[in-house]
Chain A
Amino acid sequence: MEMERFSDSLPIFSDKIENPALQDSLNSLKILTKKSLSIHDWGNGRIGVPIVISVELPSLGNIDNIDIKAKEQIVLVFNLLNYPYEAPVVYTDRLDFPKDQLAHFYIAANNRPPAFCYVRCNRDEWYANKRIEDLIIRIANWLGDAAAGELNEDGEQFEPLRLEGYSGTIIYDYDTMVRPVLTNTPLLTYKNLSIALFERGLDINQKTYRFVKFLNPDNAIDTLKEVDIENQKKKDDSTRRKYHYGYLLWADEHTVNSQYSVNLPKNWADFKLFCAFFQIDYNHLENCLIANFHLNRFIHFPVIVAIRRTKPLIGYSSNIELINFRFWLKLEHIKDGKIIDDIEINFFSHNQPLTQKLAAKISNFQLENGFRTLVFGCGALGSKIIMHLARSGYPKLSLVDPDSLSPHNLVRHTLFAEHEGENKAESLARAINKMYPLESAPSFGFSDKEIINQKPLIEIHNWIMDFTASPAFFNTLSIGQHIVEKNVLSAMISDFGNLGILYREGNGRNPRIDDLQAHLYNLSLQKSEIKDWLKREKLAHSNTNLNVRVGIGCNSETTVLSDDKIASHASFFSGIIKKEMNNVPDNGKIFLSQISDDGVYSITTNTIKVAPVHIYQAINDNSWSVRIQSEVYEKIMKEFSKAKRNETGGVFVGYCNHKTKIIYVVDSIRAPKDSKANSIHFMRGIDGLPEEIENAIQSSGGQIGYIGEWHTHPKGPNALSDQDMESVGKHKLEFERLNPPLPVFLTIITPNGLFPFVY
C-alpha cells in the first residue's frame, strides 16, 4: 500500500528528550493540537513531530485548484540540542502535496519532502522572538495564502525558485546574461547555446566567477589569444588571471514553464532529467563541452540554464529565470563522444554586479538629476567623504589631488596598502569605477591641481567641493572668476581635529566660502566655543605669526589625529552634502561638528545660516572689493536713518586679505559716546573704542579687528570731502608702517547708497 504520510516512514523516537526548551514547546504543541504527539526520529540529532493544522481556504475555491486542504498534515523538525536557537524546520507531511506549483519551498534533499520557506529572512533570527504557537499560525497563514494565490508578493510577476545550499556565486548582470536568450542569438552554429568568459579571483579557495564577456565572431580570436596568454603563465605569477569558459543554454522560444522543480541536479544524469523537465535540449551543450574540452585550463566552469517563465520574474526585467551551476569535467568523464553520468555538478547563486541605482536604493539616497561633482583634496577627510558619496550610488566624481599615497597615510586614508605610491585621486577613481563595473567609468582622477583654472572642465561640473585644507586653494576657490553659478562647499578640520567646519555657499555664490569664514570668526564674540577654539589656534601658532592657519593638513606624519575623529567629521559632512545636493539654498550655511575629548567623548553639531552679503568695488580703486555682511549693512543703515539730518558714523570690524584684495566687514561699532556730529560734520570719538576692538581681537584669536570707518553724508556728496581726505592721509601715514600694512578703508553713506574708498 502506498504511504500517505512521509512521517509514517520514520522510526519512532524512543530516547528521552532532555532539552527543557524543547520539552516546553512540545507541551505547548500538545495543548494546541489537543492530542498526544507522536515523535519520530528524523536523523541527524533531530526529531520530527507530525501534526495536523487547520487552514482557512478562500470562498471561491483554491487558486488553479491547487490541492491544499482545510486540514493539512505537516512535520515540525526540531534539533534536539540546538533548539530553540535553531528554529524548527517545517515540512509538508503529505507525499502528494502540490509542491511543484508553489514557490517558497526549499529544494528537497535526501528524498524528504520539501520544507516550507516561511520567512523571508533567516528563520533562526525570526524564531528568536517567536513561540511555537506563532510558528503554527505562520504555517497556517502560509497555506491559506498559497490557496488564495497570495503567497507571491506580486501576483503579476513570477516568484523565482527558492534555492538553498549554494556552493558558490556567479556574478553577472542579469540583463546582459539574458540578452542572447531574448534575441535568440547563439554562438556561431550552436542552437540555444552561447559561450562566455568568466574570471575567478586569485585566491585558490575563491568560489566566485565573475562574468567578463560573451564570445562572438568578432572577439573570439582575440579572446582565445588573451586567455591563452594567461593560461601560459606560471601558477605563482601574481599577474596571472584565471579565466574559465562557461556556458549559457536555453529552451526554445515557445517553451514556457511555470513549474517549480524542487529537485536540482547533482550530477550529469540528474542534469539531463532537469533539462528534460524544462524541455531544454542538452545535446548541444554536451557536444560543445566535449569539442571544446581543451580550451578550459580548469576542470570546473559555470553553466547557466535559462528557463522561460509565464510572467516576468519578480525583481528582474524579463520572464527568464537563470539557474546557475558549476560543472566538474575531466577527460576521463568523456567516453565514446558522451559525458558519463557521474560528473559532479554544484549549484551556484547569482549576484548582480553593483549599479549606481542599486547602491542609491540601498543607501536611500536619491539625487534629483545626475550632475557631476569636482572634488579637490583626496586626503584623509576627502577620501572618506568621496567614498561615502560613491557608496551611496553617486560615483560621478572628478577627483583632484597631486599627492600619492604614503605608508603613513594608511592610518587615516580610505585606500589600502596595495595603493601605496599611487596618486590618491586616480587610485580612488579606479576603486570607485571597479565598484560599478556596468557603468562606463563614472569617476575620474587628476593629479594636477591647476584644473581649477580650466574653465571648460569647471563648466561640466555642477558642484565643486574643497577638502584640501589649503588656505591657498581656499583663496583660489573664493575668487575664481570663472567659477560662477556653481554649488561650492569647503570642509576642513581644525582645533586639533576636534572641530569640523563645512562652508556651503549660498545661491549665486553669495555668501561665498570666504564670507562664511569671516562670519564664523565674528561669531567668536557671541559663542564661547568659537572664541575658545580661535584662542587655542592662536596659542598653537603663536610662534609663527598672528594669522591662524585654520584647517589641519593631514598629510603629515607629525599631525596627531586619529582616523575615527576624521571619520566622524567626514560622515557628518557627507550626510550634509547628500542633503544639500538636493537643495537650492537662499542662504549660505556653516556646519560645525565639535568633538569633546575631555572626560566623556561626545560629538555635538551646529548649523548656522548666513544671509547673502553686500558687495562693492572701492570707488577710487576697483581692484579692491568690499564684502559687508548683511546684518552689518542693516545696522548702519538703521543708524543712518536714526541720525536724521545729522551725520553719524562708526568703526568697521573685519579683516582684509591682501592677496585677494578683499575687505571683509563682519561688524560695526557705533560711534563712541564722545563723538560729535551736526549736519555737515562728524567727529568720531574714542570712548570705549579701543576696548571694543581689543575684545574683538582677543575673542577671535586675532582673526578680526579694526578694518575701517564709515560716516554719513545726509545731504551728499557721494565722495570724500577735503576733511575726509585729511583723515585718510593721517591714517595712511600710520597704517603704512604696520607689518603687514593695513589699507585705509573709509566708507561714505549717503541717501544714494554706500560708497567705499580704499587707499
Chain B
Amino acid sequence: MATNATIKYYPVGNGDMSLITLEDKTTILTDCNIRNCDSDEVYDAKADLMKSVQFDRGIPYVDVFILTHGDQDHCRGFKKHFYQGAPENYSEANKKEELIRVDTMWFSPMIAEEHSNEDEDAYQQEAERRLALHRNNDSKKDNRGNRIKIIGYDGNADYQDLNYLRAVPGDIVTRFNDRDQTLFSIFIHAPFKEHLEAMGDDKKNSTSIVFQARFRNTTYQTGFSTLAMFGGDSDHTSWCIILDKTKKYNNESALEWDLFLSPHHCSWSFFNDRPQAENPDPKKTSLQVLDYKRTNAKVIASSKKIEKNDDNPPHYQAKSEYVKKVTESNFHNTTTYNVVNNTPQPIIYEVTQQGIVKPKKVEGSARVTGGAALGAINTPSTYGNGEV
C-alpha cells in the first residue's frame, strides 16, 4: 500500500515547527524551534527530523523550508542544524554534525528586513547567497541547496528581475524542489501588499507567510482529502484581509480547513488586539475564518500548556474561542497531547481520502531483543548480597 502523506506538529513549547511528508517522501518543513535537549521535558525534534528526512548520498535534506517569519521561536536552531553555503562544499564533517541541507528555501523579502536574532540572520544570508546566484545566472543556481522561492512582495530590496521565482497571495504552488506534485499543493494567502503600507508595531508577526496546504489521495478525486492551514504569528488584521480578499476573488475553498495551526501559539492576537482584557470580544472576521472548518476539524495549539493565567500566549480565552468552534475533543495542545515519560510527543495525522486519521498503531512481534539504549545496559546492575 502506498504510504499516505502525513502532517507532524512538533512539541516545541511556544514556537512552531511542522513537517509535511508527502507520499513520495518529499518533506516540507515549516519553521523550526530546535532547542537544546537537556531536560526530559524537551522533545528531541532534531533527532526526530533526522529520522524523518531523506538522504542524498549521505546528506540529510528537506525538500522545502518555509520560514513564516523570522521570530526566534520560528527559526531557533536554523544556524546550528541546517547547512548554509554552497551545497558542493558540504563536507564529511558536516555530515557528522548532521547538518540538514535545505534544497529549496521559501523566502519572504518583506518579513526579513528586521533582523532580531542570529538564526534569522543566517536564514537571510543564505537566501541572499542563493538570490545572488540566480541574479548572476550562475550555472549552479538550480542545484539542490541553491534553489529558492520568493513569497510575496519586495520590501526595500528589489527582486523584480527574479519574478520567475516568485509566488504571491492567490497563487497555487504545485512544484516543490523542482518536482511537480499531483496530489499536493499550497495556496498562498499572505503576506500581501497591504502589509507594506500599514505595518503595526508587531510588524513581523503581522507579515507572516500564511498558506493552506491541500492534499488529495488520488488524481481523480474531486475536492481535497485534507486542508491544513499554517499562519505563523499572523494576527486578526491579516486574517481579516485574507478573508476579504479570498472571498473577493471567489477562492473560498482556500479558506476551508481540517487542521488549523492556531496563530502565534494560541494567542489572543488572532481574535483581537491585545491585551485581551481591553479587547475581550473576538472579531467577527476571525470567527468567520474558523467557520470554514470542515467536519471534525482540529485546532492545534503549538504552545506551552494552556493555563488560566497572565503568562500569554497561550491565551486561555483564545482556546475557549477555538473550543466553541471545534469542541474540546478536537482542540489539541502540543505540550499536553501525548506525553510519554514526561516528554511531549508530536501530533501526527495521516491523510486518507476520507480525511485525517491518527497514524495506525504499530504491531509488535513475538520475538524481541533489547536495544543498546536500554537503561539496564547503561547502568550497572548489582546482584547477590555482598559488596563487590
Interface residues of A (CB under 8 A from B): 56-63, 128-131, 133-134, 137-138, 140-141, 144, 147-150, 153, 155-156
Query: Which A residues lie within 8 Å of B363 (CB)?
Result: 130, 134, 137-138
Query: Which A residues lie within 8 Å of B372 (CB)?
Result: none
Q: A739 to chain B: closest CB distance in Å?
A: 65
The 28 sampled A-B contact pairs (Cβ below 8 Å) are: A57-B357, A58-B352, A58-B355, A58-B357, A59-B226, A59-B294, A59-B297, A59-B355, A60-B296, A60-B354, A61-B296, A61-B355, A63-B353, A128-B366, A130-B364, A133-B364, A134-B363, A134-B364, A134-B365, A137-B360, A137-B361, A137-B362, A148-B352, A148-B353, A148-B357, A149-B353, A150-B4, A150-B353
Query: Which A residues lie within 8 Å of B373 (CB)?
Result: none
Cβ contact within 8 Å between A140 and B258 = no
Cβ contact within 8 Å between B298 and A59 = yes
* Interface class of chain A by DSSP: loop
Q: Which of B295, B298, B356, B361 contacts A140 (CB 8 A)?
A: B361
Cβ contact within 8 Å between B295 and A59 = yes
Cβ contact within 8 Å between A59 and B364 = no
Q: Judge whether B177 is part of the interface by a CB distance below 8 angstroms.
A: no
The answer to whether A131 and B356 touch (CB under 8 A), given A59-B298, A150-B1, A153-B1, is no
Query: Which B residues lie within 8 Å of A155 (CB)?
Result: 217-218, 353
Return the chain A residue nearest B294 by Cβ: A60
CA distance A137 to B294 in the complex (A): 29
Q: Judge whether B96 is part of the interface by a CB distance below 8 angstroms.
A: no
Q: Which of B352, B362, B366 contacts A150 (CB 8 A)?
A: B352
Query: Which B residues lie within 8 Å of A61 (CB)?
Result: 295-296, 354-355
Cβ contact within 8 Å between A144 and B357 = yes
Query: Which B residues lie within 8 Å of A150 (CB)?
Result: 1, 4, 352-353
Cβ contact within 8 Å between A156 and B366 = no
Query: Which A residues lie within 8 Å of B297 (CB)?
Result: 59
Q: Judge whether B324 is part of the interface by a CB distance below 8 angstroms.
A: no
Q: B292 to chain A: closest CB distance in Å?
A: 14
Chain A CB count within 10 A is highest, among B226, B354, B355, B361, for: B354
Which residues of B184-232 have CB atoms within 8 Å of chain A's CB atoms? 217-218, 220, 225-226
Q: Judge whether B367 is part of the interface by a CB distance below 8 angstroms.
A: yes
Q: Judge whether B57 is part of the interface by a CB distance below 8 angstroms.
A: no
Q: Judge whether B358 is part of the interface by a CB distance below 8 angstroms.
A: yes
Return the chain B residue nearest A58 by Cβ: B354
Cβ contact within 8 Å between A148 and B360 = no
Cβ contact within 8 Å between B258 and A60 = yes
Assuming A59-B258, A129-B365, what are 18 further A-B pairs, CB within 8 angstroms?
Answer: A57-B357, A58-B355, A59-B294, A59-B296, A59-B298, A59-B356, A59-B357, A128-B366, A130-B363, A131-B365, A131-B366, A134-B366, A137-B360, A137-B362, A138-B363, A150-B4, A155-B217, A156-B220
Q: Which of A56, A137, A156 contacts B357 (CB 8 A)?
A: A56
Q: B332 to chain A: closest CB distance in Å?
A: 13
Q: Which of B226, B352, B367 contacts A149 (CB 8 A)?
A: B352
Cβ contact within 8 Å between A58 and B217 = no
Q: B329 to chain A: closest CB distance in Å?
A: 12
Query: Which A residues lie within 8 Å of B357 (CB)?
Result: 56-59, 144, 148
Query: Which B residues lie within 8 Å of A153 (CB)?
Result: 1
Return the chain A residue nearest B352 by Cβ: A148
B3-19 near A? 1/0 per residue, CB < 8 Å? 01000000000000000
Query: Which A residues lie within 8 Å of B218 (CB)?
Result: 155-156
CA distance A133 to B364 in the complex (A): 8
The answer to whether A130 and B366 touch (CB under 8 A), given A60-B258, A60-B295, A140-B361, is yes
Return the chain B residue nearest A148 by Cβ: B352
Return the chain A residue nearest B295 by Cβ: A60
Query: Which A residues lie within 8 Å of B366 (CB)?
Result: 128-131, 134
B327-359 near A? 1/0 per residue, CB < 8 Å? 000000000000000000000000011111110
Return the chain B residue nearest A128 by Cβ: B366
Chain B CB count within 10 A is highest, among A62, A140, A148, for: A148
Which residues of B271-315 have CB atoms within 8 Å of chain A's CB atoms? 294-298
Q: A21 to chain B: closest CB distance in Å?
A: 11
The answer to whether A141 and B353 touch (CB under 8 A), given A60-B294, A60-B295, is no
Q: B1 to chain A: closest CB distance in Å?
A: 6
Q: A343 to chain B: closest CB distance in Å?
A: 42
Q: A210 to chain B: closest CB distance in Å?
A: 34
Query: Which A residues lie within 8 Å of B220 (CB)?
Result: 156
CA distance A72 to B295 in the complex (A): 22
Query: Which A residues lie within 8 Å of B361 (CB)?
Result: 137, 140-141
Cβ contact within 8 Å between A56 and B355 = no
CA distance A156 to B219 in the complex (A): 10
Query: Which B residues lie within 8 Å of A59 (CB)?
Result: 226, 258, 294-298, 354-357
Return the chain A residue nearest B359 by Cβ: A56
Ranked nearest first, the 5 interchain pairs of A and B with the lowest CB-CB distance are A60-B355, A58-B354, A59-B355, A148-B352, A59-B296
Return the chain B residue nearest A57 by Cβ: B357
Q: A142 to chain B: closest CB distance in Å?
A: 10
Which residues of B215-253 have CB atoms within 8 Å of chain A's CB atoms? 217-218, 220, 225-226
Cβ contact within 8 Å between A148 and B358 = no
Q: B206 to chain A: closest CB distance in Å?
A: 31
Return the chain B residue nearest A153 by Cβ: B1
Query: Which A residues lie within 8 Å of B217 (CB)?
Result: 155
The answer to whether A62 and B1 touch (CB under 8 A), given A129-B365, A129-B366, A155-B217, is no
Query: Which B residues lie within 8 Å of A140 (CB)?
Result: 361
Return the chain B residue nearest A155 by Cβ: B218
CA distance A60 to B258 in the complex (A): 9
CA distance A61 to B355 in the complex (A): 8
CA distance A155 to B218 in the complex (A): 8
Q: A6 to chain B: closest CB distance in Å?
A: 26
Cβ contact within 8 Å between A131 and B364 = yes
CA distance A137 to B363 in the complex (A): 6
CA distance A137 to B358 in the complex (A): 13
Return the chain B residue nearest A152 by Cβ: B1
CA distance A333 to B207 in the complex (A): 84
Cβ contact within 8 Å between A129 and B355 = no
Q: A102 to chain B: closest CB distance in Å?
A: 14
Query: Which A residues lie within 8 Å of B360 (CB)?
Result: 56, 137, 141, 144
Q: B232 to chain A: closest CB distance in Å?
A: 24
Query: Which A residues lie within 8 Å of B295 (CB)?
Result: 59-61
Query: Which A residues lie within 8 Å of B225 (CB)?
Result: 60
Query: Which A residues lie within 8 Å of B362 (CB)?
Result: 137
CA distance A155 to B353 in the complex (A): 10
CA distance A56 to B352 in the complex (A): 12
Query: Which A residues lie within 8 Å of B226 (CB)?
Result: 59
Q: B184 to chain A: closest CB distance in Å?
A: 17
Q: Which of A130, A133, A149, A156 contacts B354 (CB 8 A)?
A: A149
Return the chain B residue nearest A64 by Cβ: B354
The answer to whether A148 and B354 touch (CB under 8 A), given A59-B295, A60-B258, is yes
Query: Which B residues lie within 8 Å of A128 (CB)?
Result: 366
Q: Which of B4, B258, B294, B365 contacts A130 (CB 8 A)?
A: B365
Q: B323 to chain A: closest CB distance in Å?
A: 17
CA distance A61 to B294 in the complex (A): 11
CA distance A486 to B217 in the complex (A): 50
CA distance A59 to B353 in the complex (A): 10
CA distance A642 to B226 in the complex (A): 78
Return the chain B residue nearest A126 by Cβ: B363
Q: A149 to chain B: closest CB distance in Å?
A: 5
CA distance A153 to B1 in the complex (A): 5
Q: A356 to chain B: closest CB distance in Å?
A: 28
CA distance A128 to B357 in the complex (A): 30
Return the chain A residue nearest B362 by Cβ: A137
Q: B369 to chain A: closest CB distance in Å?
A: 13
Cβ contact within 8 Å between A56 and B258 = no
Return the chain A residue nearest B360 by Cβ: A141
